[in-house]
Amino acid sequence: MEGPDPYIYPAMRTTERWLYHTLIFNQDRYVVRSIGIMALTSHTCAALTRVEAFHPLSESDSDSRQYRSQFSLSVLPPSYPPFPARFSAGVVSSSPMEIDEEKGDSPDLLPSVPNPGAEASFIPKLEPPAIRRLDASVVNRIAAGEVIQRPVSAVKELVENSLDAGSTSINVVVKDGGLKLIQVSDNGHGIRFEDLPILCERHTTSKLSTFEDLQTIQSMGFRGEALASMTYVGHVSVTTITEGQLHGYRVSYRDGVMEHEPKPCAAVKGTQIMIENLFYNMIARRKTLQNSNDDYSKIVDLICRFAIHHVNVSFSCRKHGANRADVHTVSTCSRLDAIRSVYGASVARDLMEIEAADNDPSRSVFNMDGFISNANYVAKKTTMVLFINGRLVECTVLKRAIEVVYAATLPKASKPFIYMSIVLPPEHVDVNVHPTKREVSLLNQESIIDNIQSEVESKITNCNTTRTFHTQNVYPSTPGLLSGSKDTQLNPSPPGTKSQKVPVNKMVRTDSQDPFGRLHAYLPEKPSGPLGKSADLAAVRSAVRQRRNPKETADLTSVQDLLNDIDRNTHSGMLEIVKHCTYIGMADDVFALLQHNTHLYLVNIVNLSKELMYQQVLRRFAHFNAIQLSDPAPLLELIMMGLKAEDLESECHENDDLNEKIAEMNTELLSQKAEMLQEYFCIHIDQQGNLSKLPVILDQYTPDMDHVPEFVLSLGNDVDWEDEKECFRAISAALGNFYAMNPPLLPNPSGDGLQFYKKNQKQFQGVEDEGNDPNNLGEGVNAEDDFDHELLSEAETAWAQREWTIQHVLFPSMRLFLKPPNTMATNGTFVQVASLEKLYRIFERC
Ligand code: ADP
Ligand code: MG
């Protein structure tokens, strides 16, 4: 929603942040379950008026405890009257909510949204207040609170100062998460005696003199603000000695000035800075920080990050009074050794070196080197350590871009480890965009990110293809109908991997590709360089295609024609939706719910996956990895199975002899075409007429083998082998049908399908209505025993696996590769179900 009303916005923001702290959450996402599933993103301008009930989902520590909650939502129109001042204030100051799990408490989050008709009564009629100049001490304290946001920001500033002073050893001691004491000692060049009186004055620095110097600044500090800020919100004392002096000096500071003359004292080389009682004069901040005891771990994490970048500096970090340091590194010349000593051998073992560079001023100029995790690395959270021109920074857009590639290429649930150091000409980096210098803005950022993203992709694709694909049985135990056990898992977890604990149906992913990354907030409008918009994911896609379809493929004009047809028929509106949508969840067996800006869509997963597979077959044409079947399957029998299933469907019972004849002819035909099928499509038929290999169309995905008979039959029946283009199209389409993410054959046990698993179904007729809710089933007498548990659990696995694959394989790949054809706009594949702009009108009437 564009430019929400400034009065509403702070209130909304506060509410969201408040929820974030008190309810869950799993990083930056949260789930709202009301009717079906809905997700709130930054686009959704909705007010949560009431929480109906909480159901704890997990028992982990209080920060990350997950709840399933039911909310009442009121959608706010953009022209909504401003909240009255007391209303906003009430929300802003509300203390964290106590949740009473036992009673399923339902606290009010916001008073109900006032009726727009009653607008007038809500706008306070106030005289304009007088404007006064703030006291210097207030200004300084406010500014200081921005630079030093929490203990870890003070540590960062102090360590950066030590690095700027050329130190090779930096030691950090922390008490009470930094609130009682932060002490950073280094062996750098020290501070001159004559500078001590102005050391902690605001805007005093040895690193910058003219504004132009900022363009080429090499040091980490430049504003001369950090030490000054610390003296406004804490008690600072400095001990320092410079080269050649016999003794050092010690002096303490308050509010920017020395408390006394520097006192001579014994000192070892370098500087030691102590901050005591941080935020002693900012009660609210101190209280919030006291309650959260994770600042020490943030500080340790920070030192780890510095340690793997500055490998020639030794770092240590420990709690005050502790004998052992929690981080301790020695100077080394190998980055990998540094990573090993900080993050452990198990991480270092699974890393690959990566490099990327560009030197075309019309595109981008940069050098990147680093380490990224390979296919064996398993972690629940991404670790991204990013240095740009020697500065430790964050770049959400780059992080997301890399995560997307991992999600699309590597095994489930594994988030990457990334260390990257990017070096650009200093004049291409604006370091002055964030009060804590946590973010920087780059010239040609998009192009740089695209470049790095494709490098990461090619690295992990290469490491991925060296793994062997596991084999599986192609025989369904009962042909065509309900199969026995089947293994839909392609790659077994690497050793040491824990199986996924969270039930997949509870995992709702939102905001996976937030285009409004943090860095963007500080960027000016994208300069429309010579590449213009094309320098986004489209570039990556074409790069990927080039790599995957090297020269020889392009020689086949028929395939090129088919690819061009896809391009020509792409629906630009749907392309935009597919690229930037947020997956919300499955609405039923076939339709998924997704959000794009303020619109909700239902999309047909079977159609989408079918099309994606078809397109990928053409893109990977002649360059497939193979799925090897454990037992080669005789074509003849497969075709017979396919024919029987067809007969059952059409209820016309051909005789077996005729079927056998057809099967023989088709087997003969396919055996003749075996060489071509093998070379172009990796469909391997051996000399005995057995099917033994199938292509990998989407990494991490194996088709449902129950559909092999249908597929082989359609190869025999539907392909026109005379016309090259038509032949390739039909084979690709047959593969698309086969690999599409159809619902498993076993009925979905989480809906009405549960009835299917009752052993004695007749007995239960008449009490059907309970069957809709699987949670109620335990209540009936012996109800538990009346289920075929083995079949039920098989079905549950199959459905859960499918939903997981849709979320983690299909959607990330679709974002990268799918070009939705125009037909999808009208054939029911995409259905817009709600637009928030319209919804609010409905709410208005209520
Ligand atoms: P900035 O780093 O932006 O210059 P600071 O307030 O962090 O501002 O530091 C002010 C000045 O104090 C620095 O420019 C530097 O000259 C000096 N200084 C601070 N810490 C150290 C240190 N550990 N060793 C030597 N000089 C230091
Ligand atoms: Mg500094």
pLDDT tens, residue by residue, 151-163: 999 999 999 999 9
Indicate if the pLDDT at residue 209 is higher than 80.
no
Indicate if the pLDDT at residue 239 is higher than 80.
yes
Ligand 1 test: best mutation among 203, 205, 434, most atoms within 8 Å of CB? 205
Sorting pLDDT into bands at 50, 70 and 90, what band is 30? very low
Over residues 13-25, the mean pLDDT reads 31
Atom of ligand 1 nearest to the CA of 200: 6
Ligand index nearest the alpha carbon of residue 229: 1
Q: Is the model more confident about 748 or about 729?
A: 729
Determine the 3-state secondary structure of 7 from DSSP.
coil
Indicate if the pLDDT at residue 24 is higher than 60.
no
Residue 35 is which amino acid? I
- Per residue in 283-301, pLDDT (tens digit) is 888 888 887 668 899 999 9
The whole-number pLDDT of residue 606 equals 93
Q: Is the model more confident about 783 or about 276?
A: 276
Please state, for a pLDDT cut of 70, what percent of the chain lies above it. Answer: 68
Atom of ligand 1 nearest to the CA of 226: 6
Sorting pLDDT into bands at 50, 70 and 90, what band is 36? very low
Ligand index nearest the alpha carbon of residue 225: 1
229 contacts 147 by C-beta, under 8 angstroms:
yes
DSSP E strands in 562-641: the ranges are 582-586, 591-596, 599-604, 626-634
| 162 alpha carbon – ligand 2 mean position (Å) | 8
- Per residue in 380-406, pLDDT (tens digit) is 889 999 999 899 998 888 898 898 888
| 746 alpha carbon – ligand 1 mean position (Å) | 68
Residue whose CA lies nearest to ligand 1 atom number 19: 161
Does the CA dihedral 6-8-11-14 come out positive or negative?
Answer: negative
| 206 alpha carbon – ligand 1 mean position (Å) | 7
Residue with tokens 């890393």: 351
| 207 alpha carbon – ligand 2 mean position (Å) | 9
| 306 alpha carbon – ligand 2 mean position (Å) | 15
CA distance 458 to 452: 10
Q: Is the model more confident about 752 or about 541?
A: 752
Residue whose CA lies nearest to ligand 1 atom number 18: 161
Sorting pLDDT into bands at 50, 70 and 90, what band is 76? very low
Residue whose CA lies nearest to ligand 1 atom number 2: 221
Residue whose CA lies nearest to ligand 1 atom number 21: 161
Residue whose CA lies nearest to ligand 1 atom number 9: 224
Which of 586, 545, 580 minimizes the C-alpha distance to 564?
545
Cα distance from N-terminal residue to C-terminal residue, the chain:
22
Ligand index nearest the alpha carbon of residue 199: 1
Atom of ligand 1 nearest to the CA of 188: 24
The whole-number pLDDT of residue 296 equals 93
Determine the 3-state secondary structure of 755 from DSSP.
helix
- Per residue in 117-136, pLDDT (tens digit) is 433 334 445 678 788 888 88
CB-side neighbour CA atoms (13 Å) of 635: 29
Atom of ligand 1 nearest to the CA of 199: 12
Indicate if the pLDDT at residue 94 is higher than 90.
no
Please list every protein residue whose CB sits less than 6 Å from any atom of ligand 1: 157, 161-162, 165, 186, 188-191, 199, 205-207, 221-228, 271
- Per residue in 165-194, pLDDT (tens digit) is 999 999 999 999 999 999 999 999 999 999
Atom of ligand 1 nearest to the CA of 206: 14
The whole-number pLDDT of residue 625 equals 83
| 161 alpha carbon – ligand 2 mean position (Å) | 5
| 258 alpha carbon – ligand 2 mean position (Å) | 18
Over residues 340-364, the mean pLDDT reads 92
Ligand index nearest the alpha carbon of residue 256: 1
CA distance 15 to 46: 10
The whole-number pLDDT of residue 250 equals 96
Sorting pLDDT into bands at 50, 70 and 90, what band is 650? low
| 283 alpha carbon – ligand 2 mean position (Å) | 25
| 341 alpha carbon – ligand 2 mean position (Å) | 27
> Which pTM was predicted?
0.48
The whole-number pLDDT of residue 284 equals 83
Indicate if the pLDDT at residue 31 is higher than 60.
no
Atom of ligand 1 nearest to the CA of 222: 3
Indicate if the pLDDT at residue 700 is higher than 80.
no
545 contacts 620 by C-beta, under 8 angstroms:
no
The whole-number pLDDT of residue 278 equals 94
Ligand index nearest the alpha carbon of residue 185: 1
Over residues 433-456, the mean pLDDT reads 82
Other CB atoms closer than 10 Å to residue 785's CB: what's the count? 9
| 76 alpha carbon – ligand 1 mean position (Å) | 49
CA distance 742 to 18: 40
Length of the chain: 846
DSSP per residue over 277-342, as a string? STTTT-HHHHHHHHH---HHHHHHHHHHHHHHH-TTSEEEEEETT-SS-SEE----S-HHHHHHHH
Please give the order of strands across the beta sheet that includes 626-634: 626-634, 690-695, 684-685
Q: Is the model more confident about 543 or about 223?
A: 223
Number of H helices, E strands in the chain: 26, 25
Sorting pLDDT into bands at 50, 70 and 90, what band is 688? confident
Which of the residue ranges 116-125, 614-623, 691-700, 743-752 would you say has the lowest mean pLDDT?
A: 116-125
Over residues 813-842, the mean pLDDT reads 81
Residue whose CA lies nearest to ligand 1 atom number 25: 190
The number of angstroms, rounded, from the C-alpha of 379 to the middle of its chain's C-alpha atoms is 13
Over residues 91-117, the mean pLDDT reads 36
The whole-number pLDDT of residue 64 equals 41
The whole-number pLDDT of residue 839 equals 64
Over residues 458-471, the mean pLDDT reads 61
- Per residue in 552-607, pLDDT (tens digit) is 444 688 888 999 999 999 998 899 999 888 888 888 888 998 888 878 888 999 99
Atom of ligand 1 nearest to the CA of 219: 2
Residue whose CA lies nearest to ligand 1 atom number 11: 205
Indicate if the pLDDT at residue 491 is higher than 50.
no
Q: Is 384 left (phi over 0), alpha (psi -120 to 50) or beta?
A: beta
Other CB atoms closer than 10 Å to residue 350's CB: what's the count? 20
| 352 alpha carbon – ligand 1 mean position (Å) | 37
Residue whose CA lies nearest to ligand 1 atom number 20: 161
The whole-number pLDDT of residue 771 equals 42
Which of 153, 90, 435 minimizes the C-alpha distance to 289?
153
Mean pLDDT rounded to a whole number for the chain? 73
- Per residue in 511-531, pLDDT (tens digit) is 333 333 222 333 333 333 333
Indicate if the pLDDT at residue 532 is higher than 80.
no
Ligand index nearest the alpha carbon of residue 248: 1
Ligand 1 test: best mutation among 160, 164, 185, most atoms within 8 Å of CB? 164
| 139 alpha carbon – ligand 1 mean position (Å) | 22
Phi, psi of 239 (to 5 degrees): -120, 130
